[in-house]
Amino acid sequence: MATQTTSIHGEWSGKLAFILAATGSAVGLGNIWKFPYITGENGGGAFVLVYLLCIALIGIPIMMAEILLGRRGRQSPMNTMALLAREAGGSPAWKLLGVMGVIAGFLILSFYSVIAGWALAYIERAATGAFTGLDKTGVEQLFSGLVGDWEKLLGWHTLFMALTVVVVARGVRKGLERAVSILMPLLFVILVLLVGYAIAQGDFSRAVDFMFKPDFSKLSGEAILIAMGHSFFTLSLGMGAIMIYGSYLPSHVSIGQVTLVVAIADTVVALLAGLAIFPIVFAQGLEAGAGPGLIFQTLPLAFGQMPGGVVIGTLFFIMLTFAAWSSAISLIEPAVTWMVERTPLERTSAAFAAGFIAWLLGIGTVLSFNEWSDVTWLGRTFFDNLDFLTTNILLPLGGLLICIFTAWVMRRKDVLDELELPDGALFELWHFLIRFFAPAAVVVIFLNSMGLI
């Protein structure tokens, strides 16, 4: 039975530490790199609206469920699921939810590290003044000069993965918890500053129209799937990362409260990133649907022209790297805890082994921007396929299973107990969302994107 009150792997110092760590996991490349470019590719307003609805009606309820499972099980996601299934009289196969999460974590980290490597490379470029005086073509060339060179990409990918492994090996508390608590607020300040610049120098009103005036004719079934997938990706849901962080959460902290704080912070950062980027895109005649290179082409234009751009640009990419770093560690934490529980490896060797696997897989993404850029399957490159499979399929599937388990397998009394919510209207609303609404929405969106309904 789930009587353990702390995890053998550790515990956060308190509520605030959890909020910081979970926000660190949630806020990352997904908000600043991915959200703007998929919004650009999928036509803007209507996509943003679906994304916001997914966060509110699917993401937040599932995040509460995932934290709840983690805190009740207090082990790696696989063993937590096995334990809770036993407690509720469910099938031992629920363990597979944890297995799926570990696989998704490896796959996501493999490409995440390559993109974070771009951010690292751009710290150097910003600091050496490489953006000064560049025009549209200049920034495009600078970007293609990086991604077209697989050796450079491999180097930065290796460096980022090493940074991730070192922190995971040492345990999260001392190093990253402290760094993130300073850097995240700073990142926020710089983003606000960039939005200010975009208001002054960019085509702000067109950007606001683009992001917030829904044009439903641009919304395809696949765009809805991408918006839903992204709501899982950006909140780090459906793969055990939030579950493992929940397992370090002290008892008696209100899960609903911490979830709201994390989800709001995450959403605000994404919207600010969009508002910083699109005004520049429109003012400079750049392509909103430019794809994964979008922020690496728009922001350098701004940094190259604004006063103090070298310092602000350098700081920005340092912070982007930190945001990616605090997310990356949560991507392998489930695998590492599982290895510690089930193999003779201790934390350090487990972290190195997991990092090595993700690094190897990352080579596919490195090559998909250059040597393999013409090699496609289902019309997508290796990187695009990996991103599609994890974000749009594995994470929503993980979320769906979390809903089913929490709402249909666990005893209602245990759920109420763990959630620390009074048995009233708020609980009923949440229970309805995870029992009926969220699972149905995920299934409908899946079927719709396949053209089946």
| Binding stretches for ligand PFF (CB under 6 A) | 25-26, 28-31, 108, 233-234, 236, 239, 241, 327, 330-331
Q: Choose between 36 and 202: whose C-beta lies nearer to ligand PFF.
A: 36
Q: How far is the CB of 273 from ligand PFF (least distance, A)?
A: 11
Q: Are 230 and 270 in contact (CB under 8 A)?
A: no
CB nearer to ligand PFF: pick between 68 and 241:
241
Q: State the minimum distance, in angstroms, from the CB of residue 330 to ligand PFF.
A: 5
Min dist. Cβ of residue 316 to ligand PFF (A): 16
- Cβ proximity to ligand PFF: between 75 and 113 the closer is 113
**How far, in Å, CA of 29 to CA of 322, rounded?**
10
Separation in Å, CA 110 to CA 105, 113, 324, 332, 344: 8, 6, 13, 10, 25
Q: Which are the contacts of 44, defined by CB distance < 8 A and separation ≥ 6?
A: 210, 211, 213, 215, 218, 288
Residue number, nearest CB to ligand PFF: 30
Residue among 88 and 276 whose Cβ is closer to ligand PFF: 276
Which lies closer to ligand PFF via its Cβ, residue 26 or residue 294? 26
For the residues of 247-308, what is the DSSP string, one character each? Answer: HTSPTT--HHHHHHHHHHHHHHHHHHHHHHHHHHHHHTT--TT--TTHHHHHHHHHHHHSTT
Q: How far is the CB of 232 from ligand PFF (least distance, A)?
A: 8
Q: How far is the CB of 88 from ligand PFF (least distance, A)?
A: 24
Instruction: Name the residue nearer to ligand PFF (CB basis): 22 or 139.
Output: 22
Distance, CA of 72 to CA of 235 (rounded, Å): 20
Burial 158-184 (b: 16+ CB within 10 A, else e): bebbebbbebbbeebeeebbeebbebb
- Give the shortest CB-225-to-ligand PFF separation in angstroms: 17
Nearest approach, Cβ of residue 28 and ligand PFF (Å): 3
Minimum Å gap between C-beta 238 and ligand PFF is 8
CB of residue 108 vs ligand PFF: minimum separation in angstroms?
6
Q: Which is nearer to ligand PFF, 29 or 134 (CB)?
A: 29
CB of 130 to ligand PFF, least distance (A): 25
Which residue's CB is nearer to ligand PFF, number 29 or number 419? 29
> 200: which residues sit within 8 A by CB, 6+ positions away?
none
Q: How far is the CB of 143 from ligand PFF (least distance, A)?
A: 20
Residue whose CB is less far from ligand PFF, 38 or 139: 38
The residue type of 322 is F
Question: Nearest distance from residue 158's CB to ligand PFF, in Å?
Answer: 20
Provide the residue type at 17 as one letter.
A
Q: Which of 153, 192, 233 is nearest to 393 (CA)?
A: 233
CA distance 204 to 223: 24
The count of other CB atoms within 10 Å of the CB of residue 442 is 23
Nearer to ligand PFF, 55 or 241 (CB): 241
How many Cα atoms are found within 13 Å in the side-chain-facing hemisphere of 83? 16
The nearer residue to ligand PFF, 295 or 310, going by C-beta atoms, is 295
Closest among 99, 71, 72 to 1, alpha carbons compared: 72
Q: Which CB atom, from 30 or from 313, has the smaller least distance to ligand PFF?
A: 30
The set of long-range contacts for 408-414, using a CB threshold of 8 Å and a minimum separation of 24, is: 408/435, 409/85, 409/88, 409/90, 409/94, 410/84, 410/87, 410/88, 411/88, 414/2, 414/72, 414/87, 414/88
Rounded CA-CA distance 242/395 in Å is 12
How many Å apart are CA 355 and CA 333, to the nearest integer? 10
> Could you give the 3-state DSSP secondary structure of residue 134?
coil
Q: What's the start-to-end Cα distance of the chain, in Å?
A: 42
